[in-house]
Structure 1
Amino acid sequence: MNNSPASPVAQAIRERRSIRQYKSTPVPQELLLSLMNTANWAPNHALREPWRFIQYKGAARETFTEAVLGAMSKEERQKYEIQRRKEYMTIPVHLIVVMPEDPRDKQWTEDFGAVCSWIQSFQLAAWEQGLGVVWKTNPYMFAPFFREAVGVAPGEKIVGVLHIGYPEVIPPAKPRTPAEARLTVHE
């Protein structure tokens, strides 16, 4: 194992955490756009830039919250509505990241990889600026009610919903499996 000091990139990768508790401090739109434009440099095949974004902040968080709640079953809504409403109205920004559903397997795989790279790049750039992000892939993303309510078109896939804000709590690091434990080498 290399004991030399980590580069800034390696340090950011190791120190970034998924944040689930946020301060109520608003996130400036200029900062969000700057981070999004930085993430636009993520690798993507043929420069297709297969990403699109739907953002909810401020009073519009109510629309996002209603879309999530509307995607729940009656039983789920009775059980979780108060908790989810409080949670989603506290998170400063919800960013839905969408990609086109290319029917060609190769292009779909390339586009999905590119959008995932965009999300990781955004998370790292945000962390560097003191912002926390959690990348969610909850069942509501697949519900027709949610998709329609937030403006996801037929032929598009939600790759993730990013919750963004200044961290209230930063969780400790969890151990990672060394690469050697999962590596098969052919020489």
Structure 2
Amino acid sequence: MNELQQSAIAKIIRERRSIKKGYNDKKVEEVTVRALLDQSIWAPTHGMREPWRFIFIDKDMLPTFAKKVSLTYKEDMQENRENYLNEPNAILVAIMEEPEKQKQWDENFGAIASFIHNFSLLAWEQELGVCWKTNPHIYDPKVKEILDVAETEKIVGFIHLGYFDEAPEVKPRTDIDEKLTVYKG
């Protein structure tokens, strides 16, 4: 283990897990989400465009929201999707500006992905579980309408939030030597 791996941030990066289920009943407060978002804004952003915005749906509003989103699915999937969207204690919808230029689109996506990662690490530090979900409904125009997402915006994901009692087991990572080559001209 080298010096970098022993730093506080390296420890949080290594320990963080996506919490997909097993949430307990502790409420995710808007004030907590706001504080985490406020710290996450320090993500890299090309040209200081800050191409992100978020919609917070707390536990009290989840049943109504889940019902509306589930109705965008085929009838045989609606109950499953409604139950699925009611599992977390809250959902944070991540939305990015979608420019016409591919370069700016890529930069915007990189920026909001960095923002979400910052949010995930900060949430983990507060023992709040996070899982970035990209289910089919994020691409559905009806869901964009439900959330009042503009034509020039993209839903990047539904970030499921919830406190948990037990973290998932560590899953092994591929050794970096299998993923890195050194250019030698």
Give the TM-score taking structure 1 as reference length.
0.91
Q: Which residue number in structure 1 is paired with residue 65 of structure 2?
A: 64
Q: Which residue number in structure 1 is paired with residue 28 of structure 2?
A: 27
- Report the 3-state secondary structure (helix = DSSP H, G, I; strand = E; otherwise coil) of the residue aligned with 1:65: helix
Identity fraction in percent: 42
The amino acid that maps onto 1:44 is: T
1:110 to 104, 107, 110: 107
Deviates more, 1:130-139 or 1:62-71: 62-71
- Report the 3-state secondary structure (helix = DSSP H, G, I; strand = E; otherwise coil) of the residue aligned with 2:157: strand
More helix by share: 1
CA separation of 1:147/1:7 partners in 2, compared to 1, >3 Å: closer, same or farther?
A: same
Q: Deviations over 1:107-155 (max 9, x none)?
A: 1111110000000000000000110000000001111221111221111
Q: Distance in 2 between matches of 1:74 and 1:24?
A: 29
- Report the 3-state secondary structure (helix = DSSP H, G, I; strand = E; otherwise coil) of the residue aligned with 2:155: strand
Q: Flag structure 2 segments of 5+ consecutive residues without an equivalent.
A: none
Q: Distance in 2 between matches of 1:151 and 1:63?
A: 16
CA RMSD of aligned residues (A): 1.6
Alpha-carbon deviation of 1:5? 5.8
Q: Which residue number in structure 2 is paired with residue 166 of structure 1?
A: 163
Alpha-carbon deviation of 1:159? 0.9
Q: Flag structure 1 segments of 5+ consecutive residues without an equivalent.
A: none
- Report the 3-state secondary structure (helix = DSSP H, G, I; strand = E; otherwise coil) of the residue aligned with 1:116: helix
Equivalent residues of 1:24, 1:90 under 8 A apart = no
The amino acid that maps onto 2:128 is: L
- Report the 3-state secondary structure (helix = DSSP H, G, I; strand = E; otherwise coil) of the residue aligned with 2:168: coil
- Provide the aligned length of Structure 1 versus Structure 2: 183
Q: Deviations over 1:81-117 (max 9, x none)?
A: 1x44344334211000001110011111111100000
Give the TM-score taking structure 2 as reference length.
0.92
Q: Distance in 2 between matches of 1:140 and 1:63?
A: 16
Q: Which residue number in structure 2 is paired with residue 38 of structure 1?
A: 39
